[in-house]
Amino acid sequence: MTYMAIPNIGNYTIALATAVESLGIKAWASTATTPEALKLGIEAAPESVCLPLKAHLGHFIEADKAGVEYAFMINSVGTCRLRYYRHMIDQILKDLGLKIKIFGLGFDGFKPPIVRHFNPGPITFIKPLFHSVLKIKVIDELEVAAWRTRPIEITPGETTRIMNKLLVELSESKTMAQTRSLRKKVAGSFADIPVDKEKQPLKVGLVGEISFLRDKCLNKNIEYILGSQGIELKNFFLLGEELENITRIIFLNQSRRKSLSRIADRYLQNSVGGHALDSVANSIHCADEGYDGMIHLCPSGCMPEVSVRPILKRVSKDMDIPILEMSYDEHTCAVGISTRLEAFADVLMERRKNGSVAFRREKARRG
Amino acid sequence: MGNPMKNSCYMGIDVGSISTNCVVITPEGGVLSEIYRRGDGHPIESVQKCLSQLTAQLSDEYCVKGVCTTGSGRVLAGAVVGTDVIKNEISAHARATIHLYPDVRTIFEIGGQDSKVTIVRDGVVVDFSMNLLCAAGTGSFLDSQARRLNITIEELSTRAMTSEDPTDIAGRCTVFAESDMIHKQQGGHEQKDIMMGLCHALVRNYLSNVCNGKEIKPPIVLQGGVSANKGICRAFKEALQCDIVVPPYNMVMGAYGAALIASKSGIEKTKYRGKEASTHIIITKGFECGDCPNCCEIIEVLDADEVIGRTGGRCGKWEGRTEPREALKGTGPIGTVFGTSAGGLTEYDTCRLLDNVPDLIQIGVSKKRRS
């Protein structure tokens, strides 16, 4: 059996693994970077590159050590350095003398090189692709349900347990029918978790670099920390939404980027690359929606996110919404992160007690 | 313990990077006793020595009704002492300052390894910031420089105050600051001018890094271990052109705030272990959880054979729990690993037992290699 290592994008890796089956091969992946892989990546990568690159590199080195022959790396076409990351990783792996071959997502002609190389039959190709889109949708639903339930659950850790259980089932689901029946189960499973309905959790939006938003090894499990402190989250990276956006671009020539840049127009007119525009637009959007605060995750040295930090400071001041800057790399210790998050939660709680603008707005909206 | 005839009091413990502080207050907020103790790399011993010193100072008519721990070692100290509340140090410091100075608008706190700024408006914390990736401009640097010049930190402070013409020192990075200082010293600059220049560099660095983009408005309160250094206070005054208030308990404000938090949290029955905490020999023992590929190192805090607390781990399964190890293993949000995989490179295992729910699902990864 041929194996292909795919990058970690959190729980969505499960869906990506299904997509890989469309090439008639098996995926080699994990839903979060393992500490071991991170160590390998840090050793091999230049010191100044951002943490997501080190994580991906480490993951591929680990894969190579396990005997995996192929790897797949996303390369965006934005202005972020991610554009060159496939080539960089490729070069570093070659310098290390590793055999693993990396594919990108580029098109040259009708078929991407990766499809041409494996040359799967049309039926083997199409079916897993649809299946993986379905899985992505299920994972989206799981994530959204978990953000809602976790802050108000009565037994700590119950939501995470249910969610992980469903994710395991999802990763084992082989057919579309199985996945569909699993999808029907999602709402019910989360509704069964005993919750404190009276509680009005703080609402916080999570914006920033996508690997940090998704990989719980890199962000030190920030979703769990925040949820267990009674904070309702919205993580602004949902792969389902992102896919929808891409489909719209292809078929309707409508990019979400346009509506985002309309929102962010007052602050940011140029393209910065990465998800910087999303960070700014979503922060403004959340302030209008009556969120209590925002958390901006930014790997140290990430060009797009670092460039919007001063803008976010301005947004925070103009729109009266606290924005916590979290910039970290592999040296950051977990205690420092939980200290900041706890203190931030305290600040938001105090603001709400004193009738902050956001809370009043939210209350008016709810009626 | 628990005698209703006794006066009640509350204890706050701040286990920071280089010092362990302890404050005992009355329910109204008056300080009964305060201890500042420079740690020597043994947080547990430091806490215990602090406690025994406290029990010696405190008269018998007081009984501890609540304990709150704070600082970077708050979880560990909490396990040793038996704490009721665990609070982050930013909130603890702010609580103490707002209690003493209700009209404060900016709090500077410079400790051993952390420097923070807290913005307060109308008695409410509205914003804060903490040094991110660099420890330049914190107490540890001043300490190491004093050690290099073979003077105590107090001497550094008094000498800096006598300077009239401070030398310009590059304060961007502590390593470069040190080489710049050596350069200036070889060039014949007076030591007191270099000391004061160092204070200026530290303040400049703090204002441009930590306070970047924050609205600094007086009244400003300066606290934390470094606030004892008069040279720093002077540098702040000169840089900001306004008065800097140094509170009476400047060195132990974190612990004072923690004690205030304990007194206000409505604790009915304290978990404080009393004398046991300071007299028993407490050891720690690490083991690898091994329930998932994260392989977290879990530290058990042991009093003889009894587990009084655990630290470490990312999933919250171990944190603060005292049940036997076997009862916790394989429970909680994380259980064993491995998702789908059928046949393959070496040996694969399929996760069928859904009660052992993994936090990290691996697809196609061999199990043999992991264990």
pLDDT in tens, A245-288: 878 877 877 777 778 888 888 888 877 777 888 889 999 989 88
Domain boundary among B227, B246, B265: B246
**Residues B209, B271: one domain?**
no
Give yes or no for residue B355 having a pLDDT over 60: no
Please report residues of B whose CB lies closer than 8 A to that of A68: 345
Cα B68 to Cα B12: distance, rounded to the nearest angstrom:
5
pLDDT at A140: 92
Contact A346 B333 (CB under 8 A): no
Please report residues of B whose CB lies closer than 8 A to that of A31: 360-362
Among partner residues A3, A35, A313, which is closest to B295 by beta-carbon distance? Answer: A35
Phi, psi of B310 (to 5 degrees): -135, 150
Share of chain A above pLDDT 70, in %: 93
Most B CBs within 10 Å: which of A39, A333, A347, A353, as the mutation test of the B interface? A347
Residues A103-116: tens digit of each pLDDT = 877 665 567 778 88
> Does residue B271 sit within a domain?
yes
pLDDT band for B352, please (50, 70, 90 cuts). very low
Q: Ramachandran region of residue A284, left (φ > 0), alpha (ψ -120 to 50) or beta?
A: alpha
Q: In whole numbers, what is the pLDDT of chain B averaged over residues?
A: 80
Cα B320 to Cα B105: distance, rounded to the nearest angstrom:
35
- For tokens 């892989």, the residue is A37
Give yes or no for residue A25 having a pLDDT over 60: yes
Stated pTM of the model: 0.84
- Beta-carbon pairs below 8 A across chains A and B: 152
Please classify residue A64 by burial: count the beta carbons closer than 10 Å to its beta carbon, then call 0-12 exposed, 13-18 middle and 19+ buried. Answer: buried
pLDDT band for B157, please (50, 70, 90 cuts). confident
Residues B256-267: tens digit of each pLDDT = 999 999 998 888
Containing structural domain, residue B52: 7-96+254-279
> Does residue B264 sit within a domain?
yes
> Does residue B348 sit within a domain?
no
pLDDT at A204: 93
Across A338-362, average pLDDT: 79
Please report residues of A whose CB lies closer than 8 A to that of B72: 335-336, 339
Contact B88 A338 (CB under 8 A): yes
pLDDT at B170: 80
Give yes or no for residue B74 having a pLDDT over 80: yes
> Does residue B352 sit within a domain?
no
Give yes or no for residue B94 having a pLDDT over 70: yes
Cα A328 to Cα A48: distance, rounded to the nearest angstrom:
13
Cα A272 to Cα A82: distance, rounded to the nearest angstrom:
13
Using the Cβ of A355 and the Cβ atoms of chain B, whether some distance falls under 8 Å is answered with: no
Give yes or no for residue A135 having a pLDDT over 90: yes
Give yes or no for residue A38 having a pLDDT over 70: yes
Cα A282 to Cα A156: distance, rounded to the nearest angstrom:
29
> Coil, strand, or helix at residue B336?
coil
The enclosing domain of B152 has a CATH number of: 3.30.420.40
Please report residues of A whose CB lies closer than 8 A to that of B334: 164
Residues 310-339 of B with CB under 8 A from A: 314-317, 332-334, 339
Across B224-241, average pLDDT: 89
Listed as own residue / partner, the contacts of B293-296 with beta carbons closer than 8 Å and 24 or more positions apart are B293/A30, B293/A34, B293/A35, B293/A36, B293/B337, B293/B360, B293/B362, B293/B370, B294/A32, B294/A34, B294/A35, B294/A217, B294/B334, B294/B359, B294/B360, B295/A35, B295/A36
Residues 6-65 of B with CB under 8 A from A: none
Across B202-218, average pLDDT: 85
From first CA to last CA, the distance across chain B in angstroms is 49
**Residues B146, B53: one domain?**
no
Kindly report the nearest CA distance between residue B213 and chain A, in angstroms.
7
Q: Would you say B33 and B13 are in contact if contact means Cβ atoms under 8 Å apart? A: no
Tell me whether strands B85-86 and B106-110 are parallel, antiparallel or unpaired.
unpaired
- For residue A7, is the peptide bond before it cis, meaning its omega torsion is within 30 degrees of 0? no
Across B218-236, average pLDDT: 89
Return the bridge partners of B23, or none: B12, B34
**Residues B107, B228: one domain?**
yes
Phi, psi of B104 (to 5 degrees): -65, 145
Give yes or no for residue B334 having a pLDDT over 50: no
Residues 149-208 of A with CB under 8 A from B: 156-157, 160-161, 164-165, 167-169, 171-172
Q: What is the DSSP string of A34-96?
A: -HHHHHHHHHHS-TTS-HHHHHHHHHHHHHHHTT--EEE----SSSSTHHHHHHHHHHHHHHT
**Residues B81, B117: one domain?**
no
> Does residue B203 sit within a domain?
yes
**Residues B228, B107: one domain?**
yes
Across A66-88, average pLDDT: 76
- For tokens 């579309």, the residue is A176
pLDDT band for B357, please (50, 70, 90 cuts). low
Residues 6-65 of A with CB under 8 A from B: 11, 13-14, 17, 26-32, 34-36
Give yes or no for residue A132 having a pLDDT over 70: yes
Contact B88 A221 (CB under 8 A): no
Return the bridge partners of B49, or none: none
Nearest one of A173, A205, A199, A202 to A186, comparing CA atoms: A173
Q: How many domains does chain B have?
A: 3
Find all residues with CB under 8 Å of B140, minimum gap 6, and list them: B17, B18, B112, B113
Residues 153-212 of B with CB under 8 A from A: none
Please report residues of A whose CB lies closer than 8 A to that of B339: 14, 168, 171-172
Residues B281-328: tens digit of each pLDDT = 888 888 887 766 667 788 888 887 788 888 877 666 777 677 777 666
Kindly report the nearest CA distance between residue A337 and chain B, in angstroms.
10
> Does residue B367 sit within a domain?
no
**Residues B294, B274: one domain?**
no
Among partner residues B133, B340, B369, which is closest to A329 by beta-carbon distance? Answer: B133
Lowest mean pLDDT among A207-216, A243-252, B191-200, B340-349: B340-349
pLDDT at A180: 93
Across B52-79, average pLDDT: 86
pLDDT at B348: 33
Give yes or no for residue A65 having a pLDDT over 60: yes
Please classify residue B171 by burial: count the beta carbons closer than 10 Å to its beta carbon, then call 0-12 exposed, 13-18 middle and 19+ buried. Answer: buried
Across B126-155, average pLDDT: 80
Lowest mean pLDDT among A69-78, A96-105, B14-23, B114-123: A69-78
Please report residues of B whose CB lies closer than 8 A to that of A10: none
Query: Which amino acid is residue B35, in one-letter code?
Result: I
Contact B344 A27 (CB under 8 A): no
Across A293-305, average pLDDT: 86
**Residues B110, B74: one domain?**
no
pLDDT at B344: 33
**Residues B145, B122: one domain?**
yes
Among partner residues A67, A171, A322, which is closest to B363 by beta-carbon distance? Answer: A171
The predicted complex's ipTM stands at: 0.78
**Residues B26, B84: one domain?**
yes
pLDDT at B339: 36
Please report residues of B whose CB lies closer than 8 A to that of A325: 129, 132
> Does residue B349 sit within a domain?
no
**Residues B160, B135: one domain?**
yes
**Residues B309, B183: one domain?**
no
**Residues B171, B90: one domain?**
no
Query: Which amino acid is residue B32, in one-letter code?
Result: L
| Dihedral of the alpha carbons of A269, A271, A273, A276, in degrees to the nearest 10 | 10
pLDDT at A225: 85
Which H or E run includes B50? helix B43-57
Lowest mean pLDDT among A244-253, B156-165, B178-187: A244-253
Most B CBs within 10 Å: which of A25, A28, A150, A357, as the mutation test of the B interface? A28
Contact B90 A351 (CB under 8 A): no
Q: In whole numbers, what is the pLDDT of chain A averaged over residues?
A: 84
Integer Rg of chain B from CA: 24
Across B12-34, average pLDDT: 89
pLDDT at B315: 67
> Does residue B134 sit within a domain?
yes
> Coil, strand, or helix at residue A131?
helix
